[in-house]
Structure 1
Amino acid sequence: MTLQDAGRTVRIRPADQPGDLGWVVMAHGEAYHRQFDWNADFEALVARVVADFAADHDPDREAGWIAELDGRRVGSIFLVGSDDPMVAKLRILLVTPDARGHRIGTLLVRTCLQFARRAGYRSVTLWTNSVLTAARRIYQGFGFELRQEDRHHSFGHDLVGQHWDLVL
């Protein structure tokens, strides 16, 4: 999917080119450290998600996408299966700070949910943290509902984890 926004080109494409997966890990680590002072534990979590996807994903039921702005990577999102074959997990949504304001996060989530519907999932679940307010607004805009909150200490900080679900 390609579109123009304020004279800039936004493109959402499969995360299938050399360097895409490494970029996802690096970009998450750098962005979350800069914005929230999260430590390398977060980057390690993203690396595990990406490694699991790379090692063993079903392309009919799982996918990842990269967002580009004027030809450079600025975002990502992944959809993977869960223990329940009818429930997918939305994972590692990111829009780099310099690319925000172009509705890239919304385009990534829309692409992900369209794929989930075509793949036959009945619902999509995700886990995030309460400090990620922009992402939460996107999820709520698509109809995700908050199911549970849990306090935890991760990535060097006390956080509130949130579990969100969407029935497709």
Structure 2
Amino acid sequence: MPHQDQRNAVVRRADRPGDLGWVVMAHGETYDEQFGWNTDFEALVAKIVADYATRHDPAREAGWIAEVDGRRVGCVFLVAGDRPEVAKLRILLVTPEGRGLRLGTRLVGECLSFARAAGYERVTLWTNDVLVAARRIYQGFGFTLADEERHHSYGQDLVGQNWTLDLHPDTAVRVGRRRPR
């Protein structure tokens, strides 16, 4: 197996046949293996993907796939929120095969760049507190925790969290850089 730094890792738009089906399958398999989540979670992802596939606005919504050596290993989607100025970051995933290459950070970076270019003022997301690596990525981009609530979903007792990021340029945070004082 090649060293990780020799692997060909790319992030591209989720626009090829099989991409959307892979997103659903990969979420179902990965979350079952890592957290014991049942098919209710896969059904949620399938609904998000189906809604995107059947009615997304390409000027305001997009999805990305991360690949390593030509194999899909990650994804993220940006969809319109309930208000025109708000977008939602949805279904971020990097499979175990793709971890350690900063692909989650690259995926979220693509998502946020697109959100800014599309004219959104804010990006929100919903996650669960057990997804520690994802939370670190979100915090690195400046997302802040808005609220959290205990719930029983996917066969597990979880703590759901809502995070938000203001996209105004004067409040933007770049990964690895501090804001000037």
- Tell me the TM-score normalized by structure 1: 0.97
- Return the alpha-carbon distance in structure 2 between the equivalents of residues 159 and 83 of structure 1: 25
- Which residue is 1:14 aligned to? 13
Q: CA deviation at 1:99?
A: 1.3
The CA distance in 1 between the partners of 2:8 and 2:144, in whole Å, is 32
Determine the structure 1 residue equivalent to 2:107. 108
Residue 143 of structure 1 is matched in structure 2 by 142
The AA in structure 1 aligned to 2:43 is A
Q: Output one character per residue of 1:96-135: Cα deviation in whole Å (capped at 9) or x when no partner.
A: 0121100000000000000000000001000000000000
* 1:120 has 2:119 as partner: yes
Q: Distance in 2 between matches of 1:51 and 1:118?
A: 24
The residue number in structure 2 matching 1:68 is: 67
Comparing both structures, which one devotes a greater share of its residues to strand? 1
Matches within 5 A, 1:33-112: 33-112=32-111
Question: Could you give the per-residue CA deviations for residues 3-26 of structure 1, whole angstroms, max 9, x where no partner exists?
Answer: xx6111111111000000000000
In 2, Cα distance between equivalents of 1:106 and 1:83:
25
In our comparison, the structure showing a higher alpha carbon Rg is 2
Instruction: Give, as a single letter, the amino acid of the residue that structure 2 aligns with 1:100.
Output: R
Mapped partners of 2:62, 2:11: distance in 1: 12
Question: Are 1:30 and 2:25 counterparts?
Answer: no
1:155 is aligned with what amino acid? Y
> Aligned letter for 2:117?
R
Q: TM-score w.r.t. structure 2 length? A: 0.90
Q: How far 1:36 sits from its partner (Å)?
A: 0.1
Distance, in Å, in 2 between the alignment partners of 1:20 and 1:72 is: 11
Dislocated runs of 4+, deviation >2 Å: none
In structure 1, distance between residues paired with 2:44 and 2:108:
20
Gap runs ≥5 in structure 1: none
| Secondary structure in structure 2 of the residue aligned to 1:151 | strand
- The residue type paired with residue 161 of structure 2 is Q
- After superposition, the CA RMSD in angstroms is 0.6
Q: Residue deviations 1:24-82, cap 9 Å, x none?
A: 00000000000000000000000000000001000000000000011100000000001
